[in-house]
Amino acid sequence: MLIESMRDLGYTLETALADVIDNSISAEASEIDLLADTNPANPRIAILDNGHGMSEAELLDAMRPGNRNPLDDRSSNDLGRFGLGLKTASFSQCRRVTVATRTPNGLVCARWDLDTVAEADDWVVEIYENEPDIPWLDRLGDQGTLVIWEKLDRLAEADGVAASAEHVIRRIDDAANHLELVFHRYLAGERGIKRVKIRLNNRQLEPFDPFNSKHPATITGPEERIRLRNQDITVQAFTLPHHKKASPQDWARFEGRGGYLRNQGFYVYRAKRLIIHGTWFGLARQTELTKLARVRIDMPNQLDSDWKIDVRKASAQPPMRVRERLRTIIETIGATSKRVYTARGRKLVTDDRIPVWRRVQDKNEIRYVLNADHPVMSEFSSKLDTDLRSQFRRVLELSAASLPVDALFADLGGQPEAVSSAKIAEDDLAILVETTFRVIAQAGTAAASIPEMLRLAEPFRSQWERVEPQVTSLVQESATT
C-alpha cells in the first residue's frame, strides 16, 4: 500500500524527469541523454548519464526509499534532498524501473516492479548479475548510470483511453521545454558549476534564460544579499524588454507558458537549479504593470528545511526573515517594470508633447479625454460657427466616453504586440503635419523646437520615418521667411 501511495505525490512527467536528472548532475555527469520509445502500445523512457556510476552496495542503497536524511550535511552542488527522488519520481510515471550502472569494477543492474511487489506482498528488489534484455544498455559507457521506465501506465493513458503516438511525443516535448528552463544555468555553463549537455533522442536541449539577460534592452538590477544561518541568499531583479524593443519571435518566446502576467515574480534557484517560478509569495499581486518583472533568488541547499523544499523540488516558501526582507524591497523590484509602461503614459500629459489624448486623474479615478486644444482640433474648431462648434465638442465628448477600456485592457494584457494604431493615408498625414506645425509656430514656438515635439507625439511618433522629411522641409521654409 505504501509503495502504491508513493505514486501520488504530485509529480508530472516534467518534474519526475528533472528529479532523476538531479541525481545525474550530483554524480558529476557532463552528458545526459533522454531516450524515448514513443510506441503508444508500450512506450519507454530512459535517462542515461556518464556520471561516476555506483557499486552494488551503492545501487542497493539508492533503490531503498528514504536512503538519505534530508537534514544531513551535503555537498553544495548536491541536488538531492530526501533520498526519495529516484523512486518516487519513477513510480509516479511507471510501474517498472530498472537501473543499470557501471563503474571501473563492473556492471550491476537492479529493478523495482510494482506488480512483483504486489504479488509477493514484500519489498522485493530484483538484482541481476547477468543482465537481462535491458533496452539501451549498449549505450551505457565505461561508467555511468541508465534508468529505464517501463509500464508507463500514466503516460500511455489519456482520458481513460490508450494514448496516440502524437500524445506521447507531445508530452515528452513539453517535458523537454521544461528541462530547458529548470536546468538552463547548467546547460549554459555558468561560472561555478559544470556545464552539462542534455539531449532528447540525440537532439540537444538549449538553455532558456527566463530573464533574457543578454538582450540589450533588459534592465538588470543590483545584486542584494540576505544572510540566514551563516548562508548567503542572493536576490537580483530583471526587467524584460518592452514588446516595442523586442522582436516578435523574442516577445513570444519569453512570455512562456501562461504568458507574461503569470510568469512575473520570483524565480527561486536551489544550487542554481530552478525550483519554483512565477510567484510573489503573496507579497504582491500579479499586475499588468509589473508583468515584465522577474526576480532571481539563489539559495544554497543547506537551507532546504528553512525554505520548506518539498519531495518533488517543485515548491518552496521563503523563511520569515527572508520574507520580511523581500517585502521591503518588492516595490523597487517592480518599479522598473512599471516605468517601462508608465513612461509611455507620461508622454501623454507633459505640456510639450501636444497630445491628442489627455490623462485626467481625479482622486482615485483616471480617465482619458480628447484634447480639444490640440492644434488640429483647435484649428478646425475655429472655422466653425457657434452651433457647429458646440456639436463638435459633443462629438469629442462622445468619443472619449466611448473609449473601450475593457477591450483595450484585455488586448494589451493578452497580445500587446498585436495592438496598433489606425493607419493614416499619406495625403491626410501630410495635411496633419503641416497644420500642426503651422499652429504651433503661430503660437510662438521656435521652429527648431517643433520637430522634437512632433517626434514624441502620436500619430507622428509611430510614423516618424514618413513624417521627418516633411517636418525638416517645414523648418527650412520657416528659416527663410
Kindly give, in sequence order, each residue whose CB lies less than 8 Å from that of residue 73, ignoring residues fewer than 6 positions away: 302
At residue 165, the pLDDT reads: 75
Distance CA 32, CA 7 (A): 25
Which of 150, 175, 204 is where one domain is finished? 204
Question: Is residue 468 over pLDDT 60?
Answer: yes
Higher-confidence residue of 363 and 477: namely: 477
Q: What is the pTM of this model?
A: 0.71
- Residue 449, all three cell numbers: 523646437
At residue 347, the pLDDT reads: 42
CA-closest candidate to residue 226, choices 303, 308, 304: 303
At residue 102, the pLDDT reads: 95
Residue 214 inside a domain? The answer is no
Q: Indicate if 68 and 170 belong to the same structural domain.
A: yes
At residue 81, the pLDDT reads: 44
204 touches 218 (CB < 8 A): no
Kindly give, in sequence order, each residue whose CB lies less than 8 Å from that of residue 416, ignoring residues fewer than 6 positions away: 243
Q: Indicate if 194 and 62 belong to the same structural domain.
A: yes
Residue 210 inside a domain? The answer is no
At residue 183, the pLDDT reads: 97
Q: By percentage, how much of the chain surpasses pLDDT 90?
A: 36
Q: Mind listing the pLDDT tens digit for each residue in 6-47? A: 777 778 999 999 999 999 999 999 999 999 998 877 889 999
Average pLDDT of the segment spanning 436-450: 85
Distance CA 94, CA 149 (A): 6
Residues 203, 208, 209, CA angle at the centre, nearest 5°? 155
CA-closest candidate to residue 8, choices 125, 81, 93, 86: 93
Q: Any idea what DSSP says for residue 284?
A: S
Give how many domains the chain has, as a whole number.
3
Q: Indicate if 225 and 249 belong to the same structural domain.
A: yes
Average pLDDT of the segment spanning 269-297: 91
Q: Indicate if 264 and 317 belong to the same structural domain.
A: yes
Residues 225, 231, 236, CA angle at the centre, nearest 5°? 25
Which residues are paired to 148 by β-bridges? 46, 98
Mean pLDDT, the chain, integer: 84
Q: Any idea what DSSP says for residue 355?
A: -
Q: Indicate if 372 and 337 belong to the same structural domain.
A: no
242 touches 217 (CB < 8 A): yes
Residue 209 inside a domain? The answer is no
Q: Indicate if 228 and 266 belong to the same structural domain.
A: yes
Kindly give, in sequence order, each residue whose CB lies less than 8 Å from that of residue 10, ignoring residues fewer than 6 positions away: 312, 314
Rg (the chain; Cα; Å): 31
Residue 284 inside a domain? The answer is yes
Q: Indicate if 331 and 411 belong to the same structural domain.
A: no
Sheet with 144-150, side-by-side order of all strands = 126-128, 106-113, 96-103, 144-150, 44-49, 31-37, 197-200, 203-204
Which of 171, 204, 237 is where one domain is finished? 204
Q: Mind listing the pLDDT tens digit for each residue in 211-261? A: 999 999 999 988 999 999 899 999 999 999 988 888 989 998 998 888 898
Distance CA 25, CA 77 (A): 9
Q: Indicate if 76 and 187 belong to the same structural domain.
A: yes
Backbone angles phi, psi at 407, to 5 degrees: -65, -40
Place of cell 515574480: 265
Residue 406 inside a domain? The answer is yes
At residue 66, the pLDDT reads: 60
Higher-confidence residue of 315 and 215: namely: 215
At residue 345, the pLDDT reads: 46
Q: Mind listing the pLDDT tens digit for each residue in 97-109? A: 999 999 999 999 9
At residue 348, the pLDDT reads: 39
39 touches 290 (CB < 8 A): no
Residue 212 inside a domain? The answer is no
Count of C-beta atoms within a 10 Å radius of residue 301: 21
Distance CA 380, CA 55 (A): 88
Give me the helices (H) in 54-152, please: 56-63, 85-91, 114-120
What's the distance, CA 194 to chain centroid?
23
Backbone angles phi, psi at 310, to 5 degrees: -90, 175
Q: Indicate if 234 and 335 belong to the same structural domain.
A: yes
Question: Is residue 71 over pLDDT 90?
Answer: no
Range of the domain at 287: 219-345
**Residue type at position 245:** K
From first CA to last CA, the distance across the chain in angstroms is 95
Residue 211 inside a domain? The answer is no
**CATH at 286:** 3.30.230
Question: Is residue 56 over pLDDT 50?
Answer: yes
Residue 241 inside a domain? The answer is yes
Q: Indicate if 163 and 246 belong to the same structural domain.
A: no
At residue 362, the pLDDT reads: 67
Q: Mind listing the pLDDT tens digit for each residue in 131-189? A: 668 999 999 999 999 999 999 988 766 555 556 778 888 889 999 999 999 999 999 99
Which residues are paired to 161 by β-bridges? 158
Which of 298, 316, 345 is where one domain is finished? 345
- Residue 170, all three cell numbers: 507531445
**Residue type at position 108:** V
**CATH at 198:** 3.30.565.10
255 touches 247 (CB < 8 A): no
At residue 77, the pLDDT reads: 56
Average pLDDT of the segment spanning 417-445: 85
Q: Indicate if 81 and 190 belong to the same structural domain.
A: yes
Long-range contacts of 471-474 (CB under 8 A, 24+ apart): 471/433, 471/437, 474/433, 474/434, 474/437, 474/447, 474/450
Backbone angles phi, psi at 228, to 5 degrees: -145, 120
DSSP string, 437-472: HHHHHHTT--GGGHHHHHHTSTTTGGGHHHHHHHHH
Question: Is residue 74 over pLDDT 80?
Answer: no
What's the distance, CA 110 to chain centroid?
38
Q: Indicate if 364 and 248 belong to the same structural domain.
A: no
